[in-house]
Every structure is written in C-alpha cells, then in structure tokens.
Amino acid sequence: MNARRLLLLCLTLSPLCALADAVRVSLQPRAAVGKGLPALRVHIEEPIAGFEVVLERGDGHKVQVKGGGQPGVTRTLPLEQPEGRFHYEGELVVRFADAEEARMPLSFDAELLGPLRLTVVPEDVDVAGRTLRFSLSRPAARAEVTVLMDTGKKAFEGEVPFDGAPAGRPLEVTWPAAEGKVLRISLKAFDTSDFYTGVDLFPWRVDIPHEEVNFASGRAEVPAAERRKLDASHALISDAVKRYGRFAQLRLYILGHTDTVGDTASNRALSLERARGIAAYLRKKGLELPIFYEGFGEQSPAVPTPDETDEASNRRAEYILAVEPPALSSTPFPPRWRKL
C-alpha cells in the first residue's frame, strides 16, 4: 500500500486529523438551536474514489454517511442530535481509485446548545446602588455593558469578565456615579462558547409634581375651575419630554386613587374613570406621547385610614413619565394599564 495514504492522526481537536494529504477532517463542535448543527467537514485534498463516515453517538444512535468529490471540495456532514453534549466514536473510510482503502479513527464531542436565556427582574436593577444583577442559563464568559444617563452621557461603557461562572449563578455589574438619572442599561451577555443574548433596561422615571384636581362627588369630569391645574401639569410634562425625549420614547402613566368612603369596587371604578379624565384632558391640550392609566381606588392610600374615612390626601393622582411601565411597590395588585 501507498504509505502516503495510510498515515493517520488521532481525532481530538479541530482540525481533527488528516489522512496524510489526501483527506483532512475538521469539526464544528458547537451550534445553537435554530442556527445550524454541529458538523464534521471532510476536506478532499487529492483524488479519491469516495469516503464513508460511520459513527455511534453516546446514546447509541448510529450515523452513516457516504460521499466524495474532486480535490478542493469540502463536504459538510451535519450531526443531527438532540440538545446537549454527546460523544461520538467511529471512523472515516477513504477509498482510492486503485481500490485501496485507508481508515481514520474518529473520537470527538459535539454540542447542540439550547436558547441562551438571560434572567433579570425589576428588583435586580438597583439604581441607587448602581448595580445590576442577572443570571445566564449557561456558564458566563463576559458581558458588554453600557449605562446611559438622562444627560446623554455614559456613566459606563465596557466589558465585565465572569470567567466561566456556572449557569444560574447570580452575576453582577456596577457602574460609577454620574450626573443625572440612569436612562438605559444595555446588557449583552456571552457564554463560554461565545454565544450571546442581550437586553435593554429602562429604569428611568420622573414623577411630575402637581396640584390635585378636585372632582365633584362621584364624578370623573374635570371641572372648569380645576383646568388650570392640569394646564400647569401639561406644561411641566411637555418641558420634561423636550428635555429627555431625544434619548428614548417616553410614556405618561396616570394613577388614580380615592379615599375609603364608599365600597371598594365603586372606588376603584371611579379612580379609573378620573385617571382617564385627566389623560383625556392632557391629550386634548396637545400632549402627543403615549398615555396609559389605571385606577387603584382606596387600595393604595397615601395615608392609611379606617373604612369610610373622608381623607383629602388620599383623593389624588400620580403622573409618571417613564420609558417602560414603572415599578410600583405600594400597589395591592399589578396594574392593567389602559392606553388612551
């Protein structure tokens, strides 16, 4: 036999091995679900009659593929497999034009990675402490982080190493103090295979100070004598939008509240209608940003009181400018924001 054709190298790394200079094999050891499959590549360097790859996967599944081609051709053999890491054992058999055969042992691992999941909840964003916590569903290599302030300047832009921290372990990034409020945190997290996922977080909010509108008992229409208060609020909101709206798409959230006089269901319905009445007035005044509203009735009082207590400070509304629905710590139920 031709010695050139029989020289074998062990298949452990990429490039995996070579059958002298007639055939070379390499491995694409990892792929993500939905973005291809792990694969063997057979690079044909000199004339051959054909080849056959015979493999057994760690779970017993058999793989058998035949192929061929002219010198310079590369045959890619996708490895159909379930999600996870599997070991393969087998061989590559190369046939030459003179009917000789040569065999190359194959032994390698291949991995099909499921979606990389990044977990972060509102409580993980500690703006006051200048800290963001999150976790990844696979071992973490690093994260690229940008923290943009509402001044338009960046408090931080850079890479944070995690050195292969195990999947699910809480990870943390911090940033230095800077002028203004944090508007956006952009996070791109990479696993140890260099796959990545990312998220943009907008913890920014501005609570608009205002005079409370005094509604007629049981009514939701804005009285004519109270419109000047909403005119003043409109001016403050418009100024804030001009100042910050160039950095992000802002929204206005209006929350309505009542005192404890009356039953709970009626008070909630009334607070919802009053919040909508305020939103409708501001829209009519020319406020063009998206407006959302919700009513909490007597269930989120500024001043806790017994039932059937006439407390003026609990008959109130909140006006919040934000990019995403604001985190509300004192409300008794998750808001179901209605868009005006």
Q: In the chain, list all ranges with CATH 2.60.40.10.
A: 3-113
Report the alpha-carbon distance of residue 321 to residue 249 in Å, rounded.
Answer: 10
pLDDT in the model for residue 5:
36
Below-50 pLDDT ranges, the chain = 1-16
Report the alpha-carbon distance of residue 188 to residue 198 in Å, rounded.
Answer: 4
Residue 327 is given by DSSP the state: P
Contact (Cβ atoms closer than 8 angstroms) between residue 276 and residue 252: no
Helix (H, G, I), strand (E, B) or coil at 33: coil
The count of C-alpha atoms lying within 13 angstroms of the C-alpha of 312, restricted to the half-sphere facing its C-beta, is 6
Q: In the chain, list all ranges with CATH 3.30.1330.60.
A: 205-339
pLDDT in the model for residue 93:
94
Report the alpha-carbon distance of residue 276 to residue 299 in Å, rounded.
Answer: 18
Over residues 42-62, the pLDDT tens digits come to 999 999 999 999 999 999 999
pLDDT in the model for residue 133:
97
Q: Does domain 118-201 have CATH number 2.60.40.1220?
A: yes
pLDDT in the model for residue 332:
84
Tell me the sheet residues that pair with 118.
Answer: 136
Class of domain 205-339: alpha beta
pLDDT in the model for residue 21:
75
Using N-to-C axis directions, what is the helix angle for 264-284 and 227-244, rounded to 10°?
70
The CATH number given to 3-113 is 2.60.40.10
Report the alpha-carbon distance of residue 111 to residue 245 in Å, rounded.
Answer: 45
Over residues 61-101, the pLDDT tens digits come to 999 999 999 999 999 999 999 988 899 999 999 999 888 89
Over residues 255-273, the pLDDT tens digits come to 999 999 999 999 999 999 9
